[in-house]
Structure 1
Amino acid sequence: MAKWLLVDGYNMAFRAFYGMPELTRADGFPTGALHGWVKTMWRLQDQEKPDAMVVFFDLGGSQDRLALHPEYKAQRKETPEPLEKQIPVIKELTRAMGLVGVELDGVESDDLVAAQARTLAADGHEVLIVSADKDFAQCVDDRIKILLPPPTANPKLGWRVLDAAGVREKFGVPPEQIAEYLALIGDTSDNIPGINGVGPKTAAKWFEEFKSLEGIIAGAAGLKPDRFREAVAQNADRLRLNLKLTTLSGRSPLPAVPRGEPQPAKLLPLLVAMEMKSTLAEAEKRYTGQTELF
């Protein structure tokens, strides 16, 4: 069976943008994120040696989640303009590199990644989800793991694989309870309000004792610290709604995504147009075995 890397496109694009200096083309068009993006994709290919690698992008919001919670992700800042300009080129580069570049209007890329990962795992493949997004911890099992990028605050840690034991160590609950755990404590990055004051340690203790979110709701009268008893009981419906927001889809509206093939005839001229000389030289070697084609 094959090894697949499924890349959270926007998560990695933001990291490429903030991890590189403000490089520009001669006419002022920003290119820093482009350099960072290509180098990151190549590093992942060289490091993990996958049989296939697919990148997923967001294209519009999650219509299902917005219908349930209109404030979903409403607090997020606008994408910086220099990065916004580079996103279409990042997508072009991705497809020309043979990394497909999947997106679907109205469906979050997280759901597309989760569904693809579970489909591949069910067919016996090994899957690495490349992202720093904690939501993906709910997908982890014997065949699906997360490849975490180096943390911004401590890049020396490097890329790390998060397996089921790592999920439990990191969050205090196993992968199958992550969605419920996030529903309880909330997720500020997605603007999902949890029970005020309930943090990771308290939540982990409750799951250890009551086994599930419904168990916690049913046992609200016996929760400790007792100051949370009324809040949990009164917000039972809110917690159930949260769970619908934090649960990633197991089904994809798209057919299984095929492996892609590099297209040097598209990639190399694009790198020329972006004036990415050092990246062009590396691409020529990687994809053609020649140099100075352009």
Structure 2
Amino acid sequence: MSTWLLVDGFNLAYRCFFAIPELTRSDGFPTNALHGWVKTIWKLEDQEEPEGVLVFFDLGGAQDRLALLPDYKAQREEMPEALSKQIPVIKELTRLMGLGGIEIEGVESDDLLAAQAVALAKAGHTVKIVSSDKDFAQVVDESISMMLPPSPANPRGGWRNMGPAEVEAKFGVVPAKIADFLALVGDSVDNIPGVAGVGPKTAAKWLNAHGDLEGVIAAAGAGTLKPDRFCDVVAADAERLRINLKLTTLNLDLPVQPAVRPATDGPTLVKRLAELEMKGATAEAEKRYGAAQGELF
């Protein structure tokens, strides 16, 4: 079957925004994230030659998780204004490039993306998730992998593929245990508190010894969890840890899109890039989509 790229929209947009120095159109409209966005998408398409690309964005309101933890993601800073101005244009360019855009009010894009990845894999496709968000490691398998951006320590190394073996090497547990792992260690990005004093190595050791979060809780209650000092702590925290697991587990029971690539609108894309004064991207779009500016008038 074919390969599909599923892009974590805000994850990539933030990366593009901070990776490229300030760039603006002549009237002051910011364009640095736009430059990074189109260049990155084109690079990934050239490298992976996918059948299609789907891009997922949040519309706000993780209602199910907020009901469990009112402080869920409460510590996150507001999006920089210069990036916020570019998001609608990123979405517009995404559509014109022939990429599917998926967003649903009140549903987190992580859940939408994960559900789509699993559905495509079950249909026989190969799926590559373009994101550095560790939550997606829980759905990695032989058909689903994560594409991580170039490492700051080796920027020329390019985008890296993380499959099941790489997940286990990085976290110390197999993908099926990632949600349990995050429930124990917590997730500062999402404002989910873990067990005080428990780091990745201890959490991985517990899960490998006791199977899953319930096994760890049972071991704590039986007094067999090591080190001993954590038995009372984990037993007392059991209900909160079960809530953590609900927070860290991606919801795969969501509607998915058919595996059909939308049409590309090359002429309009070239026109918009020209209007944004993105000269290099305009020239590249003309080559890629065979649409010269002269055809637009």
Report the TM-score range of the alignment, normalised by the length of the smaller protein.
over 0.9
Give the SS at the match of 2:28.
coil
Partner of 2:160: 160
CA contact (8 A) 1:115 1:251 kept: yes
Contact 1:284–1:293 at 8 Å: present in 2 too? no
> Aligned partners of 1:86, 1:153: CA distance in 2, in Å?
28
Residue matched to 1:283 = 285
SS at match of 1:147: strand
Q: Please name the residue that 1:259 is paired with.
A: 261
Using the size of structure 2 for normalisation, the TM-score is: 0.96
Q: Work out whether residues 225 and 231 of structure 2, in 8 Å CA contact, stay in contact via their aligned partners in 1.
A: yes
The answer to whether the 8 Å contact 2:267/2:291 transfers is no
Aligned amino acid, residue 69 of structure 1? L
Aligned-partner Cα distance in 2 for 1:180–1:123: 27
Q: Could you tell me which runs of 5 or more consecutive residues in structure 2 were left unpaired when the two chains were aligned.
A: none
Q: Secondary structure at the match of 1:226?
A: coil
Note the C-alpha offset of 1:177. 0.3
Deviation per CA, 1:75-116, whole angstroms, max 9, x where unpaired? 011111100110000000001101121111111110011000
2:239 is the counterpart of 1:228: no
* Distance of aligned partners of 1:68 and 1:186 in 2 relative to their CA distance in 1, 3 Å threshold: same
Change in CA separation of 1:255 and 1:285 when aligned onto 2, cut-off 3 Å: closer
Measured in 2, the distance between the counterparts of 1:10 and 1:153 equals 23
175-184 or 265-274: bigger deviation: 265-274
Q: Tell me which moved more, 148-157 or 13-22.
A: 148-157
- 1:21 Cα deviation from its structure 2 partner: 1.3
Q: Does 1:181 align with 2:181?
A: yes
Amino acid at match of 2:282: L
Q: Is the 8 A contact 1:116 1:256 kept in 2?
A: no
* C-alpha separation in 2, matches of 1:152 and 1:76: 23
Which portions of structure 1, spanning 4 or more consecutive aligned residues, are displaced by more than 2 angstroms?
151-154, 253-258, 289-294
Report deviation, 1:290.
4.8
Q: Distance in 2 between matches of 1:280 and 1:208?
A: 52
**In 1, Cα distance between the equivalents of 2:119 and 2:257?**
10
CA distance in 1, matches of 2:84, 2:123: 37
- Tell me the equivalent position of 1:193: 193
Q: How far, CA to CA, are the matches of 2:267 and 2:292 in structure 1?
A: 13
Q: 1:281–1:292: 8 Å Cα contact kept in structure 2?
A: no
3-state SS in 2 of match to 1:101: strand
What pairs with 1:61-72 in structure 2 (closer than 5 Å)? Answer: 61-72=61-72
147-156 or 224-233: bigger deviation: 147-156
- Secondary structure of 1:55's aligned partner: strand
1:203 alignment counterpart: 203
Note the C-alpha offset of 1:157: 3.2
- Point out the more displaced range, 284-293 or 46-55: 284-293
- Aligned pair count? 294
**Corresponding position of 1:170:** 170
Of stretches 250-259 and 143-152 in structure 1, the one that deviates more from structure 2 is: 250-259
Aligned to 1:75, the other structure's residue is in SS state coil
